[in-house]
Chain A
Amino acid sequence: MGSNGKIIRKKDLNFWQRMYIPEIAKGLRLTITQMFKPKVTYQYPDEKFVPPPSFRGRPVLVEEQGVERCVACGLCSRVCPALAIEVQASETELEKERYPIKFEINMVRCIFCGFCEEVCPEEAIVMSNEYELVFTSQEEAIFGKEKLLTPIEKLRPRLEWLKNNR
């Protein structure tokens, strides 16, 4: 609107555009060509989305030669903004001397920020590419060590990506 209340048009419609019918025909042509384009839908339960390595799925503990890399320093638990991680340390005969006797992530609290992965000095906790998380109770959502430990072979792409991008 101009200052005098008049509508200012930069470009007026030409005669055929004002007739409206040819423009509708153009629109119809676009709609019909869209109909035959390939679909973008994943048929989810049958056909699953495999995320790229940069994807932040649920955090897991790296398991190397049957034991976790984790030395139970507690940094991840400190940095976690949602207070989802609980670590209890204990001593071990192995070279690393310390290991977590209890490592729990409450997946209802977890916000998938990836701070734990970032802060970890041992690269012991990383974000996996798993995104299917279903629980039927609060207790079920607390993942203990048995659920978190993942063999290192499965996490190679993510570790590789971390090496190149961090």
Chain B
Amino acid sequence: MATEIVLISLLKILVVVLTILTCVVFLVYIERRVSAFVQNRVGPNRTGPYGLLQTVADVVKLLMKEDIVPRNAYKAIHDLAPIISIGVALSTFAVIPIGDTIELFGRQIKLIIADVNVGILYILAITSLGVYGITLAGWSSNNKYSLLGGLRSSAQLISYELSMGLSIVGVLMVSGTLQLDKIVQHQTTYLFGWLPAWNMFLQPIGFITFVTAAFAETNRLPFDLPEAEPELVGGYHTEYTGLKFGLFFLAEYANMITASAVITTLFLGGWHLPYVEYVGLSSFILSLVYVGTFCVKVAAVMMFFIIIRWTLPRFRYDQLMNLGWKLMLPITIINVLLTGIVLLILH
């Protein structure tokens, strides 16, 4: 029995990690392509059909490059930083429910790697660890711009971690559990008999603040201060080459996928497709439909990430801090209070 559980878990991990890595490859391609479209360009379209193999070519290029470590860098930490980054980025996905249970070979398999009962706390804890990768990379490179990038990153993450946590509190109060699977289950009901009870509709303020904080956590524009090409050259990864730079790159996009998955799970109803249970599909097909729904929702959120990048300019450092401490934090606290009052009246 025990070996069976281990085997199934290992299989799930393998599938999820491989899927994420493949998704990153296509995500980079899609990002470059969409960016080009927004700027009335064509983007990469030469390598392979429609340029689909562009990222593969880039990865091969990165693998072939020389690995340079600056003379005065702290080598051990310089090597460790990208590993932390990528490890953190991939391990967050462990608690995210990809679908409902599926029946395979006469067994009920839950489509979640680890159904932890404190799933949300796990996500918050692990994503905060990600800052170590960036800060250590900046510090160990022994380059002032890299260091500045790393410091900015840690300041930004600390500021936005708070409002991120507080905006989730509203969701927790509504669904009454920390288990992500249960939170999704809670969102499969309907409000007034027709509106899907997604937390996006129950917690609109929480949704907006969480999405903003997620942008800050993933270091995406308009909050990409740690990288800030015009001011900091490349930020924390200036002194990285070859595969180690590739790992940072991978981690950044894996983080984006994870953030989209978390937003989907917490606010957009997870794997649930509204009204599909009335169609009367067999349970196996229904499970597949749910997995597909999850993927589509995550892809839509990622598309939003990409388009936002070309819509909003980068925040100045003081504006970032103002927004984080003077606006986001009070709003999330008020949101928690309001949710409490409403829940008190309803019960």
Contacts and interface: CB of A to CB of B under 8 A. Distances in A.
Nearest to A28: B311
A40 B41 contact: yes
Contact of B308 (A28, A30, A34, A35): A28
Interface residues of B, number: 13
Contact of B312 (A27, A32, A37, A43): A27
B285 interface: no
Contact of B307 (A31, A36, A39, A43): A31
Contacts of A39: 37, 40-42
Given A39-B40, A40-B40, A40-B41, A27 B34 contact: no
19 contacts: A21-B208, A24-B308, A24-B311, A27-B311, A28-B307, A28-B308, A28-B311, A31-B310, A31-B311, A32-B307, A34-B38, A35-B34, A36-B37, A40-B40, A40-B41, A41-B40, A41-B41, A41-B42, A43-B42
Given A24-B308, A39-B37, 5 more contacts: A30-B311, A31-B307, A39-B41, A41-B42, A43-B42
**Contact-residue bracket for chain A:** 10 to 19
A156 to B, nearest CB: 34
A38 interface: yes
Interface string A24-57: 1001101110111111110100000000000000
Interface in B10-44: 34, 37-42
Interface string B279-312: 0000000000000000000000000000110111
Contacts of A40: 40-41
Contact of A34 (B40, B42, B312): B40
